[in-house]
Structure 1
Amino acid sequence: DCSLAAEQLKNSPRHKAYLEGVSLRQLQKLYSLLKGHLGGESLAESLENDKELAKRKSIMDELFEKNRKKKDDPDFIYDIEVEFPQDEQLESCGWDAESGEEI
């Protein structure tokens, strides 16, 4: 994870004096670019990925705001409770299983 690696680098006693003036966000970005470079991406490709991500996030934010129910909306209901069927067999998914892998 870029944020964890950047945080460890910034708090490292060995590098702390050199990185005092560098923001955590800048270190995260640098780590991401280096990771992309080691993966064979060019600088332009790495930066393009960030632009695409920002574009998709913007679209998601707009959709969220469009669909969000506000207290002033006529069909706003506070504290909706939903009953889910319990008679079906529950399936486990790979993404929710704990693994022994350390991140």
Structure 2
Amino acid sequence: MLACDFFHVDCAVTLKRVYVFFVVEVGTRYVHVLGTTSNPDGPWTTQQARNLLMTLDDRANDFRFLVRDRAGQFTASFDSVLADAGMDVVKIAPQCPRANC
């Protein structure tokens, strides 16, 4: 099982907020940092999902579920990239931040 989310870092020098997109392999607690951006939108997040599948390569078949929240960055195209790889995307309940594994 995989779980994904964003965290942000506020840079004191540039006064900008940078978002970091990561995926955790729940069984091993291995973290994949997929990328950083100041504007995490749907197309960017979808590309990061493709990059994750390339990184996992044959191991992508070992993961059946990806747990995510209902943030706007996770579009239908993000879900379809993972569904095409055989993963079921599981959305947590609305307004339940503690349900992110």
TM-score norm. by structure 2 comes to: 0.27
TM-score norm. by structure 1 comes to: 0.27
Higher helix share: 1
Higher relative contact order (CA 8 A, sep 6+): 2
